[in-house]
């Protein structure tokens, strides 16, 4: 998809004025944090497991070349094939080539952010292969021609009325006057529609939550079962995965799985955790005849050895989105590309360039909630700060912002001047605002006061009070 990240400010303003989106956000915002908290409280070892998970991923990244080669060797040993792809275009081509070689007309798809990242659907459709999204959320988004707004709950931004309206429009062969009494009726309609697609598909494409070097297996984690139908029924199974998905052993994978569902949906374990290894064996009654792994890089290897390497530990649980006050206010589409929220604010600049995505690391209050809930302990705010520095170094910020920062930096490096300046400013504001108790408008802060009033300072600074308290022996 073409990024609209450069227009983040406009996107965010539009999102905040979108009544439907705000309704959806207000309803769903509190749910994920409450469920995660309950799941974490039910597992006393959770904190220690986070440390374990971080250690496993760090070990893997330090030996990433070795584990990728081991993985590829074992996929081959199991009768499958790994297609190494340097970028999104190569990955799209690799998937298409397999589809064309087997004469595929339709390809069912499990939910995959990788597929969004490489814009696979557009490419397949343009070349005569019809992609069919089968995850319920992805299915309606495909009907609506929209990208997902959340990495694990793609239709996060929709309300029930949106579902009903779209199904009436898209399933026009069904009686127009049918009634959707409850959400279940919507689900049942999608289930029966998609069941036919599963049975007719020539190729099934899934992502991967993990790739296991030890066994050459891919692992997917789902609740609906659509991913499993996708990788079981068609003749050909294609796994689309980026290079940082590899993990050394089954035991390493298990430890990460203990963190994933709890951090994501607050479930103790997802309904289906499936390990796929190679194509159907001689005596297997079901399963695909071909097993392919399209393993792509698309900018990740360039993060290895940099201050952004830790981001490659990400297991895409979405805890950082679910706890982010900015995401919760502007929704996922505002971020303008595939990965929203704090993890996207770090990953997107690395994948599409800080010149395109420079606003994203600024779309943060630095409250650090994301880092505190990240199962992989990724220092997200720190890395957003690194991106801000890079954007500053490359003169990507507007002149006024640069000058403002330079002005502040001058004072910040001169404590005496800083204290005098703040003392004068606070005393003045205190005097001016004594009567009203607040400021409705302030010069140079129009954007800030447009949405709220600034309470009038009491005339003192923190430093002055602290010094006074020390003198009086109260500290």
Q: Is-contact 237 290, C-beta < 8 A?
A: yes
Among 38, 73, 76, 77, binds other proteins (CB under 8 A): 77
CB nearer to other proteins: pick between 213 and 363? 213
Tell me: does residue 166 bind other proteins (CB under 8 A): no
- Contacts to other proteins from residues 309-348, by CB under 8 A: 309
Tell me: does residue 153 bind other proteins (CB under 8 A): yes
Tell me: does residue 63 bind other proteins (CB under 8 A): yes
CB nearer to other proteins: pick between 254 and 469? 254
Among 3, 204, 234, 278, binds other proteins (CB under 8 A): 278
Residue-wise DSSP of 265-293: TS-SS-SEEEEE-SS--TT-SSS-SEEEE
Among 224, 290, 310, 371, binds other proteins (CB under 8 A): 224
Number of residues engaging other proteins in binding (CB under 8 A): 104
The closest alpha carbon to 377, from 302, 335, 320, 327, belongs to: 320
Among 18, 146, 189, 214, binds other proteins (CB under 8 A): 214
Stretch that binds other proteins, among 125-133, 283-291, 383-391, 410-418 (CB under 8 A): 283-291
3-state secondary structure of 40: helix
Residues 6+ away with beta carbon under 8 Å from 191: none
Among 121, 215, 334, 461, binds other proteins (CB under 8 A): 215
Tell me: does residue 179 bind other proteins (CB under 8 A): no
Residue-wise DSSP of 180-230: --SHHHHHHHHHHHHHHHHHH-SEEEE--SEEETTTTEEEEEESSSHHHHH
Among 17, 41, 44, 471, binds other proteins (CB under 8 A): 44
User: How far apart are CB 205 and other proteins at their closest, in Å?
Assistant: 16
CB nearer to other proteins: pick between 63 and 130? 63
Please give the Cα distance from 447 to 160 (Å, whole number). Answer: 35
Please give the Cα distance from 109 to 184 (Å, whole number). Answer: 22
- Contacts to other proteins from residues 14-33, by CB under 8 A: 24, 27-28, 31-32
Please give the Cα distance from 88 to 119 (Å, whole number). Answer: 8
Residues 6+ away with beta carbon under 8 Å from 65: none
Among 275, 366, 407, 448, binds other proteins (CB under 8 A): 275
Among 9, 105, 281, 394, binds other proteins (CB under 8 A): 281
Tell me: does residue 194 bind other proteins (CB under 8 A): yes
Tell me: does residue 167 bind other proteins (CB under 8 A): no
CB nearer to other proteins: pick between 73 and 458? 73
Beta-strand runs (E) in 39-163 = 81-85, 106-109, 130-133
- Contacts to other proteins from residues 361-380, by CB under 8 A: none
Tell me: does residue 213 bind other proteins (CB under 8 A): yes
The closest alpha carbon to 277, from 227, 219, 221, 228, belongs to: 219
Among 258, 292, 316, 369, binds other proteins (CB under 8 A): 258
Tell me: does residue 114 bind other proteins (CB under 8 A): no
Q: What is the side-by-side order of every strand in the sheet holding 203-206?
A: 81-85, 290-296, 236-242, 203-206, 106-109, 130-133
Longest CA span, the chain: 87
Tell me: does residue 285 bind other proteins (CB under 8 A): yes
């Amino acid at each position: 998809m073409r990024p609209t990240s450069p227009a983040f400010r406009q996107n965010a303003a539009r999102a905040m004025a979108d009544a439907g989106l705000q309704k959806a956000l207000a309803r769903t915002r509190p749910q994920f944090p409450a469920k995660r908290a309950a799941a974490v409280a039910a597992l006393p070892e959770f904190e220690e497991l986070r440390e374990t998970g971080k250690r496993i991923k760090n070990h893997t990244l330090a030996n990433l070349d070795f584990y990728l080669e081991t993985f590829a060797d074992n996929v081959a040993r199991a009768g499958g094939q790994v297609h190494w792809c340097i970028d999104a275009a190569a990955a799209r081509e690799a998937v298409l080539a397999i589809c064309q070689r087997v004469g595929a007309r339709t390809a069912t798809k499990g939910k995959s952010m990788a597929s969004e990242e490489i814009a696979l659907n557009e490419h397949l459709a343009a070349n005569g292969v019809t992609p069919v999204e089968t995850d319920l959320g992805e299915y309606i988004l495909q009907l609506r021609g929209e990208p997902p707004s959340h990495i694990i709950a793609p239709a996060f931004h929709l309300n029930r009325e949106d579902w009903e309206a779209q199904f009436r429009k898209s399933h026009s062969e069904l009686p127009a006057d049918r009634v959707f009494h409850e959400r279940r009726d919507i689900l049942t309609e999608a289930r029966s529609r998609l069941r036919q697609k599963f049975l007719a598909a020539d190729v099934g494409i899934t992502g991967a939550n993990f790739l296991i070097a030890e066994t050459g297996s891919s692992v997917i984690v789902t609740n609906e079962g659509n991913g499993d139908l996708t990788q079981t029924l068609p003749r050909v199974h294609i796994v689309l995965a980026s290079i940082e998905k590899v993990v050394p052993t089954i035991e390493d994978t298990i430890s990460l799985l203990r963190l994933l569902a709890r951090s994501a949906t607050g479930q103790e374990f997802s309904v289906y955790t499936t390990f796929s290894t190679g194509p159907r064996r001689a005596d297997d009654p079901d399963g695909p005849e071909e097993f392919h792994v399209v393993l792509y890089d698309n900018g990740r290897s360039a993060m290895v050895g940099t201050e952004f390497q830790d981001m490659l530990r990400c297991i895409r649980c979405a805890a950082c989105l679910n706890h982010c006050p900015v995401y919760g206010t502007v929704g996922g589409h505002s971020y303008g590309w595939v990965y929203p929220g704090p993890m996207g604010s770090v990953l997107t600049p690395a994948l599409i360039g800080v010149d395109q995505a420079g606003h994203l690391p600024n779309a943060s209050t630095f409250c650090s909630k994301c880092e505190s809930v990240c199962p992989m302990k990724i220092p997200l705010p720190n890395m957003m700060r690194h991106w801000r520095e890079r954007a500053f170094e490359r003169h990507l910020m507007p002149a006024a912002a640069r000058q403002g920062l330079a002005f502040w930096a001058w004072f910040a490096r001169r404590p005496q001047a800083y204290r005098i300046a703040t003392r004068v400013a606070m005393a003045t504001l205190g005097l001016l605002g004594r009567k009203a108790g607040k400021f409705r408008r302030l010069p140079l802060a129009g954007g800030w006061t447009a949405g709220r009033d600034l309470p009038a300072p009491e005339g003192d600074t923190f430093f002055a009070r602290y010094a006074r308290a020390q003198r009086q022996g109260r500290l």
